[in-house]
Every structure is written in C-alpha cells, then in structure tokens.
Amino acid sequence: MFDQYKYRNELLKKYLLIGFVTSVLLSPIYYKMGINYLAISLNIFSVLMVYLFINSKKANKYIYNSRFFMITISILFIIGFLDGNQEINSMVFVLLYPIASFSIRGPKEGILWSIVLLSIFISIFTLFLLPYNKYSFLFFCVAYLMVSYLLYFYRYYEIMTFKSINEELENIVKERTKELEISNKKLEKLASTDVLTKLLNRGKLNDFLESEINRASRFNHIFGVIIMDIDHFKSTNDIYGHNVGDKVLEEFATILKTKTRVTDIVGRWGGEEFVIICPQTDIEGIKKLAEELRYIIENNSFSIVGNKTASFGITLYCEGDTIKSLISRADKALYRAKEEGRNKVVVL
C-alpha cells in the first residue's frame, strides 16, 4: 500500500536540495549588491539544508525535519521581505512557499503555514511601511492566496486518491487472504480426508490416536478403539466389480458417520477396514456401540449387493500403550471375530 509519508519525505529531500543550491547561487549576488545580512542568512540557510538532508535519511525524523525546514524558510523569506530596497517582483520566490508547505506537510497544516506567513508579511508591510508599491503588494497577496487555494484542494484530492487506492488495495488483500484461507482449509481437508468415503484418512486417525494417548497418559483418561472390517468384501469386488465395491464402502461410511456419537472419531484405516476412536468411554460403552453398528449393518440393504455384515475388534487403552500396540491388540480382536464366524464383536 502507498505510504504518503515516505512520499512526502522524498519531496522534502528535493526541497532541501533546491534550497541549498539556490542559497549557494544567490548569496554571492547579495554580497555584490551590498546586502550582507541577507547573504549571510543564505549561507546559514545552506548549512541548515545540508544538516536536514543528512537527517532526512532517518524516516522517524520526517516530522521534525519538515517543520524545521518550514521554520527556516519562513525566517529567510521574512528577512528578504524586510529588505525594503527590493522590488516586490523579487518576492516571486515566496510563491514557492505554499507549494512546499502543502506538499511536505499536507493540506491541513500546509494552509496554516501559508496563512501565517502571509499574515506576517501583511503585518510587517502595515507596521513598517516598507517601500513596496502597495498595489504590487496587493497583487502579490492575491496571487499568493490563489496559489494556496488551488494547492489546498489539489493536495486534498490527492490524499483522498491515496486513501482510495489504499482502501482498494486493502480490500483486494482481504479478498485474496480470504480466498487463501478457504483454499488452505480445502487443502487441509483433502490432506486429512479419504477421497472415496469422505471420512478421516489413516494419517489423520494417527494424529487423533496420538492426541488421545497423550491425554490418557497425562490425565488418566480412558478411551478405546474399534476396528471394523467388512466381511467377504473381496468377493463383492470379484462378483460385482470395483465400482460397486466403492459404492458399498461409501454406504458403510454413511452408516458409521450417522450412527456413531458426536464425540467419536471415525475414519477409514485402509481397504475395507474402518477405525472408530471412542474418547472417555469404558469397555461396556464401546462394546454397546459396536453391537449397535453390527446390528444396523446386518439389517441394512446395500445397493446391488443387498445384505452385508462386518466384524469388530475392540480394545481399551492401557498404560504404556503406543499407537502400534493399541492397533495391534484391536487387530487381534478383529481376527478372532473373523475366526469365530464373522459378524461378531470381540474384545481384547
């Protein structure tokens, strides 16, 4: 986004450079004209320009530098104005003052600097009756005010444009950030979800198992694991084909998603195997859930293939268990259920 203060600081550097060059060129002329105090003022001014230019390299010094510049150039113009031996047309450089004030201090402060300097000029002209032609001075004041008026609105609309551009850029950034967040969520979901069944995949199940093991070992919580395997699933693929087999897997996943509890964590372990993690549940609660699922599956009519059954292996977390030992024990229970005729729930 556009940083208007950085932009103003760059403008300030240009004014400092112009001020230095101008004062160096004009001071010899004023010495030759015999106006020594003005020539000396220009010499001092050139030194101050060098100081401010070096100081302007520090971004945090911008406000101090810009206001110090406005003060020094104001004093210089007032000294020049007090020289009543010059014609008013020699004050044409003063018309640069509003340009400098508005460009480096902005419209609000710029109009203040411009009005204050003109007020000082008018006061000096009135009090000291300087030998300027009063009509020429009046024309100068009108020109000065016109320049200030035009610059004020130019800078005002310029800043409004900057703000509009910034707001537009901020909105674009917000939209892009929102799109990125949505994309990241989709990617995260894809990375943790089984493509076919839309259940959690094995990697994400491992993450949950590790989390539950850590909670159980630290806070003495209980939890259990169910491994479910579809009986004779290979024959389903062999007889009906893999497309029908995939449809059966999707329907099994729907049953598991809709018939388990909100706190249960359901995922596809691989092939026709599914895992259910049951936090804060004792062995009786887990067994009851497995029996309910077994019953629902046994009495469900699956597309094309009709009735299917599933076998279940159950185990509870024991102190010192790892993911490998926990799943291995549940697997043994599942194989025992298969050996005992399938469509059974076995606890180990």
Q: Catalytic residues, which ones?
A: 272
Classify residue 282 by its DSSP letter.
Answer: -
Classify residue 311 by its DSSP letter.
Answer: E
CA atoms within 13 A of residue 257's CA, in its CB half-sphere: 12
What is the torsional sign of CA 116, 120, 126, 132? negative
Q: Helix 4-33 crosses helix 62-82 at what angle (to 10 degrees)?
A: 30
CA atoms within 13 A of residue 54's CA, in its CB half-sphere: 5
| β-strand pairing of 301-302 with 223-230 | unpaired
HEC letters along 224-242: EEEEEEECCHHHHHHHHCH
Q: Tokens in use for 167?
A: 């707001």
SS3 135: helix
State the Cα–Cα distance between residues 90 and 77, nearest whole angstrom. 11
SS3 348: coil
Residue 226 C-alpha from the chain's centroid: 43
**What values do phi and psi take at 302, rounded to 5?**
-85, 150
Strands (E), 164-272: 223-230, 265-270
| Residue 181 burial (10 A CB sphere; 0-12, 13-18, 19+) | exposed
Cβ(56)–Cβ(86) below 8 Å: no
